[in-house]
Every structure is written in C-alpha cells, then in structure tokens.
Structure 1
Amino acid sequence: MPFDTKGNARRFLDILQPKAAFFVKYDLWANFIFEAKKREIPLFLFSASFRKSQIYFKPYGGFFRKLLRAFDHIFTQNQDTLSLLNGIGVGPTTMTGDTRYDNVYAISQHPKKFSEIAEVFDGKPTIVVGSAWQQDMEMIIPFINRQSNYNLIIAPHDIHHQVIGQWQADITKKTIKYSELKGKNEKVDVLFIDNIGMLSSLYQFGRLAYVGGAMGKGLHNILEPLAFQIPVIFGKLKNNSKFPEAGISQKYGCGFMVDNAQSFEKIILDLENQELYQKAVNGAKKLVDDNLGSAHKIVAEVQKTLK
C-alpha cells in the first residue's frame, strides 16, 4: 500500500473501490480509515490485541480513540482487549480469538515436502531452531558441541552468508547449508537454512523446536511449531504482554522459557522423559485445538454486516 497520506488514500480507494476494508491487530492507517469511513465503506479490525498502557486508553488519546470508533466491527483476540475497548465506548466488538491459529494449523496439515532434508540426517531426533539471532545461538552452540544425540535444523533470522559462516565455524560438528545439499550424500549433524520461506513447514521434522528473537527485538512465531504438536523453547522475554502466546503456551505445558545455555540444555534433557514429553505434546495439541475457528466466526459476522 502507498504511504498513509490523504492524497494516497483517496487515489487508492478511487482505483480499488473496495466493498469492505480489513485491518489487522494494531496496524491502523488513519488517512485510509477516515477516507474509507467518509465513503461509507464497511471497516473491520480483526485479531485486535491492545494493552492498557497504549495511547488509545490515555486521557490524551482522543484522536486514536476516534480511529477505533470508525470501525463497523472489531474482532478481538482476547477478553482483556474486549474489556478495554468497551471501557472507552468502542463497539460493536466480539472476541473471536487469533486468526494465526487457523493459519498455522492449515500449514501443519499440508506442509511443503523436503525429502532431501531427511536424507542428510542419520535417524537421530531433530531440534528445529527457527528465526535464530546471535543471542539465541550463544545458548544453542555450546549444546550442539557437547551433545551427540540430536540433529539440528537452524533457520537464521539473518541468512547473510557471513552470519551463517561464523556459526558454522563455532560448531565442532559437521554442518552444511541447504543451498549446498544438491548431489551431497554424506550425513551431517547440523543443517543451516540459507533461504526464506521454508521455516513454517520445517517443524514437521522436529521432536522439539526453539524459536528465537525473545532476547532481541521480539519473539518470533511459536504457534507454527505448536501446530505440529511439538514442544517449543524460547528465550526470556523482555515484555511478556507483547507476546501473550508465550504465557499461554507455558500454562498449557508446551512452552518453555530459558535464559542461558544451562537452562536450555536442562529443558531438552528433561523432555527426554517420555511422560513429560507426551504431556507437552498433548498440551500443544490442546492449545491449538482450543483456539481454532476464529476465521470462520469473523467471516460469519462480516457477512451479516455486508448484507
């Protein structure tokens, strides 16, 4: 979309002439919203997630509350957001949950196939590391170098060859990049994914997953591995309220927070207990199952408005 200016909003809507407009979470473009409202285009916000500390709920947040009141219907992820919106007179609102659950579940049911990946491993259980940052690898590399019971698939947040090359140099086990797999028959211990777009389907190979970013700019998507019914480990969060799924996963017994190399290794060793592991697997399944259906609820309500 073009930058959020009044002129761009008018031109965009003149060209597209939408019958309805949808915004997601907290990504609200004021000029587009107000121009659409002026044209009586139905406006919907879904997967809305707000916190009391945000400007919408401050005495000086009048302009931003006006944005929220422009919507014909707001669909929230949780009860807290619903209560906050109702508290400032915003409505109609409905709690429908997080549409990401529907998305990750659909991916888990029909993941992309990568037969070449299974061929480079020797049958040991696999840990999939998604969206790894330097802070994450500082915990993970010591574990890789000490253990011999696991294979690892590592998808870095930054796929720059220098970043991957440094991590490969720090690992004492045999590593290879995905781009180098063609024609290779030897077994390896660690596979680095040096492209974009594979990660959401890679969790099909995992017995466990680690998702990065929590100790840096923000936790990446832990719902993707949970949809494959595998326990997920992540770093200690700087702000829990921004990533409610982390706390929810811990309550369900399928998410585990760590803050150093020792706690990372301990969780992996603890999950070698089959009873504990199965409990975490069951928790992952229940968490996703309990949150499915958001998209269907939203579409049903939108259809009523558009009739």
Structure 2
Amino acid sequence: MICVAPFNQKIKKGVEGRRESFTILEKHISEKDKTLWFHCASLGEYEQGLPAFKVLRKHFKNHKIVLTFFSPSGYEIRKNSPIADVVVYLPLDAKQNAKRFINLVHPELTVFVKYDIWPNHLNELKRKQLRVILISAAFRPNQSYFKFYGKHLRQALFAFEHIFTQNEASKELLKSINYNNVTVSGDTRFDRVSSQLEMDNTLDFVEDFKQGKLCVVAGSTWPEGEALLINYINNHASKDVKFIIAPHNIKSNQIHNIQDKLKVESVLFSEKEQHDLKTAKVFIVNTIGILTKIYSYADIAYVGGALGNTGLHNTLEPAVFGVPIIIGNIYDKFPEAQALIDNKGMFSISSQDEFNDILTELIKEDAKRKLAGNNNATYIKNHKGAVDKIIKYLGF
C-alpha cells in the first residue's frame, strides 16, 4: 500500500493518517477515561450511524467518544465531528495494532456500522470481554461469511454480542451460520433522513433560481448520468422547467465540461453572486454539504451512481421530502431502491429514451408525480424506528 500511495492521493492520505492514529490517541485518551468507540468505513456509514451516535452521546455524557474511519472520504469530511472527542483512522488490522488500539481506547461500548468487519480488532474486544454491537447490518448470500472459505471472517462476527440487521433476509443468513443474537431493527438511515424534516432547509439562492417553477434536482451525478441530463435539457426540456445538477466530482474540469456541453444558460454555485439566477436554466452545484437541503426544493429527483460501477448514491434523502426519483438500472446491492421501485415512488432507467420518457411523464402528469412522491414519503415514515430498538436493547 505504501508503494502505491504516491500515485493515489486518497491512498496516500489514508497511509499518512494511520501513522498518526496512535500518537493522537495517546495524547487525548488516558487510562482513567471512560470511553465509547464508534467505527465507520466511510462517510456514508457515518451518516447512517449518526442517529444512534447522537443518542449515545447524550446518554454517556461523561465518556470520551473515539470515532474511527477506514476511508479518507469519511475522515477528511468528519474529522471535526462534534459527536466525537477524538477522530482517527483505524490502524490496519494486524494483531499487534489491534491490541495496542484496544488497550489505548478501552471502550465500554463499541458500535460498528453496517459491514466493515475488522477481525483482529473484534477478536481483541471479545478476548477482553468488551461490549460490541453491529448496527444497520446488511448481508448477502455471496459474502465470504457464508462460504466454506470464510471461517476467519465468520468467527469475527461472533465477537458481536448483538447484531441489528436491516432486514429479515440478513437475519436468516446469520442463523445459517448459527449466529442467533439478532434483531431486525431496520436501517438507521431512515431515522437520519427523517430528522432532516425538522431542520431549516431554506436556501435563498435556490428560491431565487427556482422562481416557483418545476425543478428537477440531479444529485451525486457521474458522467454517464450527466450525459442523459445534458441531452434532455438541450433537446427536450420545456422553458418552464429548471434543473439543478450536483455532481459527485466537483473538480473544475468536470464542472466546466458539463457547462460547456449545455446549450442553455447555466450558473455555478461559486459564481452565483455575479449572475442573475432568475434567468438561468441550469444551476450547477460545485460545492459539497448542501445537497440534502437542495432536495427539499425538488419536484423530481435523479440520483446518480446506478448507471455505472460507482454504486447508487443516497436515494432516501430526496425520498423523505416526498419527491419521485429516477435512478439507473444497477442497484442490486441497494434493497431500499428495490423497495421504493416496488412502492411506485422510484423509476429505473437504462437508456436515453427511457430517461426521456419517464422524466417527461413526471413533468407533465401532476397526479402521477405527486402520487409517486407521496409513496416515497410514506415509505420513509413507515420505516423509522431502528434507533429506538437499538437503544432499548442497550437498556436505556
């Protein structure tokens, strides 16, 4: 990994960050401190676990919380998270690292989110008889835990005193390997996105841009989805519809590539003060951290990632606002996508023609658009409550 690091900035950040983890922990955690440990693979798992983290933070007011990440995409964005007292990269999963890390942190309770299993760290927690749970877990039959060659990873699962799964299928898979301390709690992301409804989502510049017109918000887009959007905007969009595009990649060359291909007036977030937003057809968001609020202004949403191999991005964020959603056709690892499709609030496409047809239909048919959006909002509302089940199990 160290040899590859100079050629990959993301890997390099992770390598350098892990070198500092023990030093940071030794500086901020003492033997006398009471601690909790929360671990997330990346930013998505952090957002997923956050509703539970917040409740635990309130309950354990006198504990120091250590938050660890595997990926730089999580660490770099949330290294100053108010939920934690110390944020570090989790040292690589070697036995020596695990023993040193657990000795330094000595957590009273550890919470892992979804799927990032570190066998040596987990086995060390079990050896020391320290509590550890896994929340929002989602398992699939093709994973190593359920194969003849997966003994090492399978044993690591038994370090968890309890696993909270997103669905019944995951519980059944765990039972197939004789792990029975399972509760089907659902996905904590439903609690997370539902809390957004209680926040102030006002963005004055979006209101200035939208001007009360129907607005299509395309979030976390990749080039393959952007090509569909650009084609539609250039050739099919009526003058009464506005578009907001929030690319996943906000590097200037990618942003300008989108802008150059558009044949209509567009404006960048970074240049919004110098332009008349009212006259622009397309608003391009070349910043991070505001997409969730922007979804509250959407009449229709497109969520990127499912037309390529990057993985579908968060569809629950627009769904909670009662917005119909369009995605690509590669979503088999995202059970919530299939559920929303079955619930007739989300629509999957695989070609330009399919994209054009469904988007035009949702724009023109008010009743279908509103019904689909209501279906999504109802689905989110009906699937809240995972955090309550986790906290009840923990006894407070």
Of 247, 252, 268, which residue of structure 1 is paired with 2:338?
247
Matched, 1:224 2:317: yes
Amino acid at match of 2:160: F
**Counterpart in 1 of 2:290?**
198
Query: Shift in Å at residue 183 of structure 1?
Result: 4.6
Query: Shift in Å at residue 51 of structure 1?
Result: 0.7
SS in 1 for 2:312: coil
Matched, 1:44 2:133: yes
- Check 1:300–1:51 CA distance in 2 against 1; reply closer, same or farther (3 A cut): same
Query: Shift in Å at residue 61 of structure 1?
Result: 1.6
Q: Distance in 2 between matches of 1:186 and 1:298?
A: 46
Matched, 1:71 2:160: yes
Of 194, 207, 218, which residue of structure 2 is paired with 1:129?
218
Compute the TM-score of the two structures, normalised by the length of structure 2. Answer: 0.74
Q: Distance in 2 between matches of 1:195 and 1:112?
A: 17
Deviations 1:105-126 (A, max 9, x none): 1123314432122113333211
Q: Distance in 2 between matches of 1:130 and 1:163?
A: 15
- Check 1:71–1:29 CA distance in 2 against 1; reply closer, same or farther (3 A cut): same
- Aligned 1:6-155 pairs, distance under 5 A: 6-146=95-235, 147=237, 148-155=239-246
Query: Shift in Å at residue 142 of structure 1?
Result: 1.1
Query: Shift in Å at residue 2 of structure 1?
Result: 2.2
Aligned length: 302
1:121, 1:189 within 8 Å by CA — same for their partners in 2? no
**Structure 1 regions of 5+ residues with no counterpart?**
none
Deviations 1:53-75 (A, max 9, x none): 11111122211211111110000
1:49, 1:81 within 8 Å by CA — same for their partners in 2? yes
SS in 2 for 1:126: strand
Deviations 1:128-176 (A, max 9, x none): 1111101001111111112123111111010011111011111111111
**Counterpart in 2 of 1:287?**
379
**Counterpart in 1 of 2:26?**
none
* Stretches of 4+ aligned residues off by more than 3 angstroms: 183-186
SS in 2 for 1:182: helix
SS in 1 for 2:243: strand
Deviations 1:18-41 (A, max 9, x none): 111111111111121111111111
**Structure 2 regions of 5+ residues with no counterpart?**
1-89
**Counterpart in 2 of 1:174?**
265
Identity across the alignment (%): 35
1:69, 1:91 within 8 Å by CA — same for their partners in 2? no
Deviations 1:199-229 (A, max 9, x none): 1221011001000010221110101000111
* Pairwise CA RMSD: 1.4
Q: Distance in 1 between matches of 2:188 and 2:98?
A: 27
1:231, 1:281 within 8 Å by CA — same for their partners in 2? yes
**Counterpart in 2 of 1:164?**
255
